[in-house]
Amino acid sequence: AKAVFDVLAPFTPGRSENIKEHPGLFEVRTPKAPTVYIEVDFHDVPAVAKWIIENAEGIGEKIAEGLCDALDVAYKAPDTNATD
């Protein structure tokens, strides 16, 4: 979780200094794989919700980058020139 936090926190607006273990959460204890439960910010605040929507791709990339760091796998940024 810390590897994801270290990459994601500087990307998000505001102060991000909260990382906690909550092994009792259903979302954490139910999967049969290691789990990181990420709350980017409060989506019930309109301005923050707008930021989350507008930056969803960047948020996802930062999470992927942090997971790669945690797993000691080289992160490969998406090819922005690729076509669908």
Is residue 74 classed as helix, strand or coil in its secondary structure? coil
- What distance lies between CA 36 and its chain's CA centroid? 9
Domain assignment present for residue 47? The answer is yes
Tell me the backbone φ, ψ of residue 54, rounded to 5 degrees.
-70, -15
Q: Do 48 and 41 touch, CB atoms closer than 8 A?
A: yes
* Residue 78 confidence class, pLDDT cut points 50, 70, 90: confident
Amino acid at 73: V
Would you say residue 54 lies in a domain? yes
- pLDDT surpassing 80 at residue 81: no
Q: What pLDDT digit, counting tens, does each position of 15-71 carry?
A: 777 788 888 999 999 999 888 888 888 778 899 889 999 999 999 999 999 999 999
Q: Is residue 78 part of a domain?
A: no
State how many domains the chain has: 1
Rounded CA gap, 83 and 63, in Å? 23
Print the domain residue range for 29. 2-71
